């Protein structure tokens, strides 16, 4: 894994030391010797990660971090606070101002690589999702991730066959408001996925099972893959822990486990995995929102245009016809005027259902807007499309629409215009224009009928 790291420290010797360690692992290193410089470089160079000293004259690390996080141009760059070993309070304070992680001085090689590696892996996923979300956002799916959503108490499952250390960690977590379960209490881990566990704490020192094998198993199993794993190991097991990180564990804590450290690690891991979850859901929804009409569940105009273009292109290439049926509800304005807009909406939803039920699976039913609907019919010559349109017309006119608000039945009819592709010169605009003209003819000829424009 290679990345550009910005090292911020007022003391040159500290910067050089971190630089040497990072360059030995093939990272590219940039320097800043004070907070202001760090902000400038972060903005212009956009490093993948920032290692930020806490104690600096002038703007200290906390203030620098705050400003980095407040600026949308730099807020997504993960920040690791570098604190002196003595001030354990400072660690938590770093996380409070938005830092993603912390390291204690003197910076240990293993801890440095574990932190940086875990952050980069996390950030790769998060930035991919953010990008996809950004393209979804343009389609109108905006919603803010609430802090509450991210910082609810965690559900932690502790897998450690030593009853003493296991219970000690569980109690620390419970004291802090988290829900902790130990393997010894649960008996087995068969329903781990159903428990909605956020974090697994896995002790490498356990004798009765191979922690790394277990770690690999969780990461390979679909239902447990997204659970963050924190490994606990003693000084002598660091190499093994390093392997665990390669396999997919998110973090490592060296035992004996310090309360502050455990809380901070659990908190960051929970935030990260929930943030990823929220982003992922948003991306899914965003993609959906960008092509689906929210009222009827039919495809919207954007999707209609892209599909019609493709279908017409395939038609020209393969020599098969394509037709479109443009439908418009008759006197819909009077439905709104008589019964209200909500009833109008119900009619639109019911109409969408009848359309869906009366076309073939390959047909694409769209609501480009208002009370107008367009059905794209691939591989369909004009006469068949007219027959299909007639079937739709009948399905609408033959039975009244039952609307629940007010529990009444309303008679609805629609008019339809059909057009068929004429050849490779025919454009989408031409095709839909002809359908529109046909629809206009159906309206002027008395409504509740189908017309087509002969090619």
Active site residues: 371
Quick note: the x/- pattern for Mg ion over 269-308, rule CB under 5 A, is: ----------------------------------------
Partners of residue 373 on adjacent β-strands: 327
Give how far Cα 265 sits from Cα of 81, 100, 154, 434, Å.
13, 10, 11, 64
Among positions 205, 226, 336, 448, the unique one binding ligand GH3 when judged by CB under 6 A: 336
H helix intervals, 46-140: 61-70, 88-96, 109-137
Cα angle, residue 435 at apex, residues 347 and 386 outer, rounded to 5°: 80
Is residue 225 involved in binding ligand GH3 (CB under 6 A)?
no
Length of the chain: 455
Q: CB of residue 55 vs Mg ion: minimum separation in angstroms?
A: 4
Residues 139, 306 contacting (CB under 8 angstroms): no
Is residue 400 involved in binding ligand GH3 (CB under 6 A)?
no
10, interface contact from ligand GH3, Mg ion, none, CB < 5-8 Å by kind = Mg ion
What is the C-alpha end-to-end distance of the chain, expressed in Å?
60
Q: Which residue is nearest to ligand GH3 (CB)?
A: 344
- Other Cβ atoms within 10 Å of 86 Cβ, number: 9
90, interface contact from Mg ion, ligand GH3, none, CB < 5-8 Å by kind = none
341, interface contact from Mg ion, ligand GH3, none, CB < 5-8 Å by kind = ligand GH3
Q: Which is nearer to ligand GH3, 94 or 344 (CB)?
A: 344
Tokens in use for 88?
Answer: 């354990």
Contacts of 337 (CB under 8 A, 6+ apart): none
237, interface contact from Mg ion, ligand GH3, none, CB < 5-8 Å by kind = none
Considering only residues 80 through 109, tell me which ones interact with Mg ion, judged by CB under 5 A: none
Among positions 344, 368, 382, 417, the unique one binding ligand GH3 when judged by CB under 6 A: 344
Q: Which is nearer to Mg ion, 9 or 198 (CB)?
A: 9
Considering only residues 353 through 392, tell me which ones interact with ligand GH3, judged by CB under 6 A: 370-371
Q: CA 197 to CA 192: how far, in whole Å?
A: 7
Q: Where does 126-207 show beta strands of DSSP type E?
A: 155-159, 179-182, 199-203
Is residue 102 involved in binding ligand GH3 (CB under 6 A)?
no
Q: CA 70 to CA 287: how far, in whole Å?
A: 28
Q: Which residues bind ligand GH3 (CB under 6 A)?
A: 328-333, 336, 341, 344-345, 348, 370-371, 443, 447
Q: Which residues bind Mg ion (CB under 5 A)?
A: 10, 53, 55-56, 328-329, 332, 371
């Amino acid at each position: 894994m290679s990345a550009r790291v910005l090292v911020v420290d007022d003391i040159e010797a500290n910067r050089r030391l971190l630089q040497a360690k990072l360059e030995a692992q093939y990272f590219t290193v940039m320097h800043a010797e004070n907070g202001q410089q760090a902000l400038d470089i972060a903005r212009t160079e956009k490093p993948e990660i920032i290692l930020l000293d806490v104690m600096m004259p002038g703007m200290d690390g906390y203030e620098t971090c705050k400003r980095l996080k407040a600026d949308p141009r730099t807020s997504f760059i993960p920040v690791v606070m570098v604190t002196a070993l003595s001030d354990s309070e400072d660690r938590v304070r770093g996380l409070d101002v938005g830092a993603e992680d912390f390291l204690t001085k003197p910076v240990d090689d293993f801890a440095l690589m574990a932190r940086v590696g875990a952050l980069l892996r996390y950030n790769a996923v998060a930035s991919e999702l953010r990008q996809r979300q950004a393209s979804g956002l343009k389609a109108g799916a905006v919603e803010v991730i609430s802090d509450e959503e991210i910082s609810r108490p965690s559900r932690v499952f502790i897998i450690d066959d030593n009853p003493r250390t296991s219970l000690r960690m569980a109690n620390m977590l419970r004291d802090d408001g988290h829900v902790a379960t130990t393997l010894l209490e649960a008996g087995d881990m068969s329903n781990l996925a159903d428990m909605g566990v956020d974090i697994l704490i896995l002790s490498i020192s356990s004798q009765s099972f191979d922690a790394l094998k277990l770690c690999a198993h969780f990461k390979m199993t679909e239902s447990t893959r997204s659970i963050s794993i924190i490994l606990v190991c003693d000084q002598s097991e660091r190499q093994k822990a390093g392997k665990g990180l390669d396999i997919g564990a998110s973090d490592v804590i060296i035992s004996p486990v310090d309360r502050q450290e455990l809380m901070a690690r659990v908190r960051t891991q929970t935030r990260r995995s929930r943030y990823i979850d929220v982003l992922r859901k948003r991306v899914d929804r965003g993609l959906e929102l960008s092509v689906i009409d929210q009222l009827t569940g039919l495809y919207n105009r954007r999707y209609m245009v892209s599909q019609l273009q493709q279908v017409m292109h395939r038609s020209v290439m393969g020599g098969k016809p394509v037709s479109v049926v443009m439908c418009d509800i008759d006197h819909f304005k009077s439905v709104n005027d008589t019964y209200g807009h909500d009833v109008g909406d119900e009619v639109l939803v019911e109409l969408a259902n009848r359309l869906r039920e009366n076309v073939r699976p390959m047909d694409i039913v769209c609501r480009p807007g208002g009370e107008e609907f367009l059905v794209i019919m691939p591989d369909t010559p004009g006469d068949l499309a007219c027959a299909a349109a007639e079937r739709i017309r009948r399905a609408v006119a033959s039975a009244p629409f039952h609307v629940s608000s007010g529990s009444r039945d309303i008679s609805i009819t629609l008019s339809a215009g059909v057009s068929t592709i004429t050849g490779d010169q025919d454009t989408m605009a031409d095709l839909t224009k002809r359908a529109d003209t046909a629809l206009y003819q159906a309206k002027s000829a008395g409504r509740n009928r189908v017309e087509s424009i002969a090619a």
